[in-house]
Amino acid sequence: MSNQAKSTFYSGLQQTLDQLREQGLYKPERVLASRQGAEVVSEDGRKLINMCANNYLGLSGQEWVAQASIDATEQYGYGLSSVRFICGTQTVHKQLEQAISTFLGTEDTILYAAAFDANGGVFEPLFDENDAIISDALNHASIIDGIRLCKAARFRYAHNDMADLEQQLQAAADKRHKIIVTDGVFSMDGTIAQLDKIVELAEKYGALVMIDECHASGFMGKTGRGTHEHHNVVGKIDIITGTLGKALGGAMGGFTSGRKEVIDMLRQKSRPYLFSNTLAPSIAGASLAVLERLSSSTELRDRLHENTAYFRKEIERIGFTIKPGTHPVVPVMLFEAPVAQKFAARMYELGVLLSGFFYPVVPMGQARVRVQLSAAHTREQLETVLKAFEQAGRELGLLKN
Ligand SMILES: Cc1ncc(COP(=O)(O)O)c(C=O)c1O
């Protein structure tokens, strides 16, 4: 590369970054000086109540989870320096795969370094140009990328729209195999996919069903198994992907779960599995301890749902508009991007960590702050947060009441 070409490359990047800043789309990183938890300490020493982590069950910073990871490190070492199939599989990985299958009610499970990899590596080994993938328009980026890597025909149905899904199934009628793909829960709105209806349509049109359970595993459904339990369709979902990096402990790691033939094929052909290092034993051991705990008690899941119901009721009583629902993702609607930014900044001053979302992450005019409840939040912390909402809402003239 000539010096001239190099300098235009770097100055071009700088220009784009400057534009992102000007448009208010630049994403700075918040630096924490503490463990993840209901309360965190920022780099500058401020104590904040954290309302924006995917720490649904409050496990990320818990001592017993950290200890389980230390125990696994002591037993199995720090890492494997290998992909799974060469010399990177330990008993703890097999135990965790078995535990996830039992928890979800599936036959077998394969681990990945992230759910992003699970979604990225699930389609290409299983489907080709003879097949069709029918995907919700708002599915997660990793599903979209995974579909792009596969030769199957692509059909997209309008978000959560069962009539359109049916039309797309009809449009894909001449394809050999069809699979409907949806997030179990959509993280921007906390919308729960209508899996009962999706399964019905899949049965009618002879399609498979895949769900991404990143915002559901561990706490949706009566015993926390996920959206399939919530909608009473356990055993009727063909492929489940999920993360170990949110409710199930919060470190990192992902999985795909389903029938033995599917998982076996992924072990043979899924590129992020074949060509990437094995999940650290510390994470496998801690995830195993988490699943044991969640299988023996629904206490954390129950507390999370109590916190969610309380917060949803109180925030509306104060006079904010929220997207209706029951999920611990609570979008508090502020509509205009500058308002959402100002509001999140004022809440930070009042000791509450929140994130604002605006176009293009959400549709124009739908700016919001997204609250995420956790089982770790105490009632006292939620009261403090609600008081801060009320104060900031009043100051900015946002309350309906
Ligand atoms: C719906 C969904 N799928 C997949 C992912 C990726 O998960 P991971 O962090 O394990 O790669 C996320 C995380 O943001 C998600 O929200």
315 and 172 within one domain: no
189 and 176 within one domain: yes
Residue 57 lies in a domain: no
Mean pLDDT, the chain, whole residue set: 96
What does the alpha-carbon distance between residue 211 and residue 227 come to, in Å, rounded to a whole number? 9
What pLDDT, on the 0 to 100 scale, is given for residue 5?
Answer: 85
385 and 251 within one domain: no
Residue 149 lies in a domain: yes
250 and 264 within one domain: yes
pTM value is 0.97
What pLDDT, on the 0 to 100 scale, is given for residue 92?
Answer: 98
**Which of 277, 296, 315 finishes a domain?**
296
CATH number for the domain harbouring residue 391: 3.90.1150.10
pLDDT in tens, 94-146: 999 999 999 999 999 999 999 999 999 999 999 999 999 999 999 999 999 99
Q: Is 160 in the pocket of ligand 1 (CB under 6 A)?
A: no
Q: Is 182 in the pocket of ligand 1 (CB under 6 A)?
A: no
Q: 139, 272, 149: which is closest to 210 by C-alpha?
A: 139
CATH number for the domain harbouring residue 95: 3.40.640.10
115 and 33 within one domain: no
Task: Provide the residue range defining the domain that includes 392.
Answer: 23-52+298-396
User: Is 246 known to be catalytic?
Assistant: yes
Question: How far, in Å, from the CA of 120 to the mean position of ligand 1?
Answer: 11
**Which of 242, 265, 296 finishes a domain?**
296
pLDDT in tens, 314-352: 999 999 999 999 999 999 999 998 899 999 999 999 999
Residue 7 lies in a domain: no
Question: How far, in Å, from the CA of 240 to the mean position of ligand 1?
Answer: 13
